[in-house]
């Protein structure tokens, strides 16, 4: 359908994972991405949990490439720096040269809850400069992207706590549907640079003492904090050059008043939202093969969410509904968590295989649907049966978001070099010779879908002066035929 909105490009940084491919490999290999080290602060400081999910390296940035003044680069929020990189990467991943989108009506929608670097740069009055406001202010998480890439559409940051990234996705979809913008960058960012926020959460009894996230398990005792930054490009289907998945429908609501507390989730409102999503898009919930849940491992949140999920998805099914939460693998990245779940869904749909949950051994006895085997947690790589999958998210203030996605059913084979019926020519251009060679080496081991080669060739014909290295490679078994030159 021409009006269909698709995810056409995606990029991300996750704990111990510099990109989507590495993240995918870690998920399927059951790697626990929570680590104990002093990259942020000494483990156990102030009695905090010793383990946390952290990005590998946040110290580097090519300020010249992005046109950022060196003095500004020193006070630029690392969240902004990485969002600039990921926005570029997601556009390229969609098959575009960023130059092609300059001056276009592209929106930017970012989910974020804090800028700890802003607090740091402004704590000493003597160190505040004319660059501090435009360098570390939270508004720049979105506006800096619009400025750098010359996007003319809506541009703002939103904060609904843990559902911030999901709400950014909702706002972007709505803006494209209403023709406020022709495409959108959706992003979310979360870095844990200072122990203050962790201390606040720990004293609120929401963090796991052992620094392990155990969603839906009887031993669940809170969540482990984590960092993540994600960006994706949304477009209408008919103009996209790549289609990871279609967003069938997405909707949000808010709990409103609750007798218990503002932070206590509402099963009734989550159930209402989920039901409305499927009623409005006229899709039977039984068609959904997998639900990526919010699933933090807290004693209150998991039973409430699973109650809503089971009441909508379980009726009329012959087999249990499959559920998982990426927080079991990487911890809870708070405002970025929903887009991490979305990245996992894209990985699932691309491979037609659901990555496994970690730390699930015994069902939480307070989750009846689990005990009765109406819902099943995915603990081993499991084939995705069907085209539809769902994403559920809710925030501490009561903002709920639910989305249903449909996979791209394009034939994705062959996947091995020897399966190619004839040699495949590959053209590519990049900033460095090493970058072009890296891609060629990658293709020697894993052959992507044929549509991917068209995107690579497009990069050569539309490449800007920032990508002067051009090369070709002939994919043929047991031979090395390639050349790279600078122009």
CATH number of the domain that residue 333 is part of: 3.40.47.10
3-state secondary structure of 422: coil
- Say if CB 225 and CB 52 are below 8 A apart: yes
Q: Is residue 398 part of a domain?
A: yes
- What single-letter DSSP state applies at residue 40? S
Q: Judge if 152 and 228 occupy the same domain.
A: yes
pLDDT of residue 2: 56
Neighbours of 280 (CB within 10 A): 10
Return per-residue pLDDT of the chain as tens, 487 residues: 557 999 999 999 999 999 999 999 999 999 999 999 999 999 999 999 999 999 999 999 999 999 999 999 999 999 999 999 999 999 999 988 899 999 999 999 999 999 888 777 777 777 777 777 788 889 999 999 999 999 999 999 999 999 999 999 999 999 999 999 999 999 999 999 999 999 999 999 999 999 999 999 999 999 999 999 999 999 999 999 999 999 999 999 999 999 999 999 999 999 999 999 999 999 999 999 999 999 999 999 999 999 999 999 999 899 999 999 999 999 999 999 999 999 999 999 999 999 999 999 999 999 999 999 999 999 999 999 999 999 999 999 999 999 999 998 765 555 566 666 677 888 888 888 998 898 888 887 777 777 778 778 877 776 556 778 888 888 877 667 778 887 7
Task: Flag whether 178 is in a domain.
Answer: yes
Strands 106-111 and 5-13: unpaired
In a domain, 413, yes or no: no
For residue 223, give Cα distances in angstroms to 49, 215, 335: 10, 8, 14
Q: Are residues 375 and 425 in the same domain?
A: no
pLDDT at 474: 86
> Can you point out the beta strands (E) in 257-398?
288-292, 321-324, 353-354, 375-377, 382-383, 388-394
Q: Which among 203, 229, 246 is the end of a domain?
A: 246
Q: Same structural domain for residues 333 and 439?
A: no
Residues near 72 by Cβ (< 8 Å), separated by ≥ 6?
63, 131, 134, 135
Whether residue 370 contacts residue 314, with contact meaning beta carbons closer than 8 Å, is answered with no
Does 294 qualify as catalytic in the annotation? yes
Q: Is residue 371 part of a domain?
A: yes
The tally of domains found in the chain comes to 3
> Do 332 and 230 share a domain, yes or no?
no
Asked if residue 74 and residue 201 are part of one domain, the reply reads yes
SS3 10: strand
The answer to whether residues 363 and 264 belong to one domain is yes
DSSP 370: H
What CA–CA distance (Å, rounded) separates 358 from 2? 39
CA distance 43 to 457: 48
Where b means 16+ CB within 10 Å and e means fewer, 236-253 reads beeebebbbbbbbbbbbb
219 and 361 in contact (C-beta within 8 Å)?
yes
Structure-block tokens of residue 178: 């209403």
Distance CA 364, CA 482 (A): 56
Three-class SS state of 291: strand
Q: Is residue 412 part of a domain?
A: no
Which residues, at least 6 apart from 412, have a Cβ–Cβ distance to it below 8 Å? 350, 449
Q: Is residue 414 in some structural domain? A: no
Chain mean position to CA 416: 28
Q: Is 359 a catalytic residue?
A: no
pLDDT reported for residue 1: 52
Digit-coded pLDDT (tens) for 373-391: 999 999 999 999 999 999 9
**416 lies in a domain?**
no
What's the DSSP call for residue 235? E
Note the pLDDT of residue 416. Answer: 63
* DSSP assignment of 314-337: STT-SSPEEEE-THHHH-B-GGGH
Q: In which domain, by residue range, is 272 found?
A: 249-407
Find out whether 162 and 394 touch, Cβ atoms under 8 Å. yes
Q: DSSP string covering 66-106, please? A: TT--HHHHHHS-HHHHHHHHHHHHHHHHTT--GGGGTTS-E
Same domain (yes/no): 402, 425: no
Catalytic site residue from 294, 340, 359, 402: 294
Encode pLDDT of 316-353 as tens digits: 899 999 999 999 999 999 999 999 999 999 999 999 99
**Beta bridge partners of residue 10, listed in sequence order:** 232
Q: Domain containing 434 — which CATH number?
A: 3.30.70.3290
Residue 119 and residue 10 in one domain: yes
Separation CA 51–CA 169 (nearest Å): 30
Closest CA to 395 of 227, 204, 264: 264
For the chain, give the number of residues: 487
273 sits in which H/E element: helix 267-280
Catalytic residue among 332, 340, 359, 402: 332
Token readout for 198 is: 């962790």
Contacts of 359 (CB under 8 A, 6+ apart): 32, 212, 213, 214, 215, 217, 219, 297, 328
Predicted pLDDT of residue 105: 98
Residue-averaged pLDDT of the chain: 92
- End of a domain among 246, 275, 296? 246
Beta strands in 211-308 (DSSP E): 228-236, 245-254, 288-292
Reference 7, options 147, 176, 155; nearest CA is 176
Whether residue 190 contacts residue 327, with contact meaning beta carbons closer than 8 Å, is answered with no
Do 425 and 395 share a structural domain?
no
Q: Of the residues 182, 213, 246, which one is the last residue of a structural domain?
A: 246
Q: Does 242 share its domain with 260?
A: no
Q: Does 149 lie in the same domain as 28? A: yes
- Is residue 143 domain-shared with residue 170, that is, in the same domain? yes
- pTM comes to 0.94
Concerning whether 332 is annotated as a catalytic residue, the answer is yes
Looking up tokens 């809710």 gives 394
């Amino acid at each position: 359908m021409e009006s269909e909105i698709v995810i056409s490009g995606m990029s991300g940084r996750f704990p111990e994972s510099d990109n989507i491919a590495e993240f995918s490999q870690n998920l399927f290999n059951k790697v626990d991405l929570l680590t104990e080290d002093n990259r942020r602060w000494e483990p156990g400081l102030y009695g905090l949990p010793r383990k946390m999910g952290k990005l590998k390296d946040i110290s580097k940035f090519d300020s010249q490439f992005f046109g950022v003044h060196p003095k500004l680069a020193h006070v630029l929020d690392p969240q902004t720096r990485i969002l600039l990189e990921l926005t570029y990467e997601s556009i390229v991943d969609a098959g575009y040269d960023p130059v092609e989108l300059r001056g276009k009506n592209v929106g930017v929608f970012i989910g974020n809850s804090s800028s700890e670097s802003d607090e740091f740069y402004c704590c000493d009055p003597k160190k505040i400069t004319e660059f501090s406001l435009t360098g570390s202010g939270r508004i720049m998480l979105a506006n800096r992207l619009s400025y750098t890439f010359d996007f003319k559409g809506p541009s703002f940051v939103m904060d609904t706590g843990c559902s911030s990234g999901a709400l950014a996705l909702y706002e972007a979809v709505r803006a494209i549907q209403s023709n406020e913008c022709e495409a959108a960058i959706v992003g979310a960012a979360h870095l844990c640079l200072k122990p203050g926020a962790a201390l606040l959460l720990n004293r609120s009894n929401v963090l796991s003492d052992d620094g392990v996230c155990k969603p839906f398990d009887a031993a669940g005792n809170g969540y482990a904090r984590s960092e993540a930054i994600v960006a994706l490009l949304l477009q209408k289907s008919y103009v996209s050059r790549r289609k990871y998945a279609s967003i069938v429908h997405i909707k949000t609501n808010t709990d409103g008043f609750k007798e218990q507390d503002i932070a206590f989730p509402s099963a009734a409102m989550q159930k209402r939202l989920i039901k409305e999503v499927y009623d409005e898009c006229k899709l039977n919930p039984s068609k959904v093969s997998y639900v990526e849940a919010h699933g933090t491992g807290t004693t209150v949140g998991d039973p409430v969410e699973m109650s809503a999920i089971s009441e909508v998805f379980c009726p009329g099914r012959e087999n249990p509904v499959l559920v998982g939460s990426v927080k079991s693998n990487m911890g809870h990245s708070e405002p970025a968590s929903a887009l991490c779940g979305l990245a996992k869904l894209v990985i699932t749909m691309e491979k037609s295989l659901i990555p496994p949950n970690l730390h699930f051994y015994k069902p939480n006895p307070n989750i009846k649907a689990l005990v009765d085997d109406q819902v099943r947690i995915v603990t081993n790589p499991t084939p995705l049966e069907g085209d539809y999958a769902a994403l559920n998210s809710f925030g501490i203030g009561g903002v709920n978001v639910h989305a249903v996605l449909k996979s791209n059913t394009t034939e994705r084979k062959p996947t091995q070099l020897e399966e190619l019926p004839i040699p495949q020519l590959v053209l590519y251009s990049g900033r460095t010779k090493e970058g072009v060679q890296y891609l060629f080496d990658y293709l020697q081991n894993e052959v992507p879908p044929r549509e991917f080669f068209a995107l690579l060739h497009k990069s050569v014909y539309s490449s800007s002066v920032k990508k002067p290295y051009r090369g070709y490679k002939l994919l043929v078994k047991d031979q090395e035929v390639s050349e790279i030159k600078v122009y």
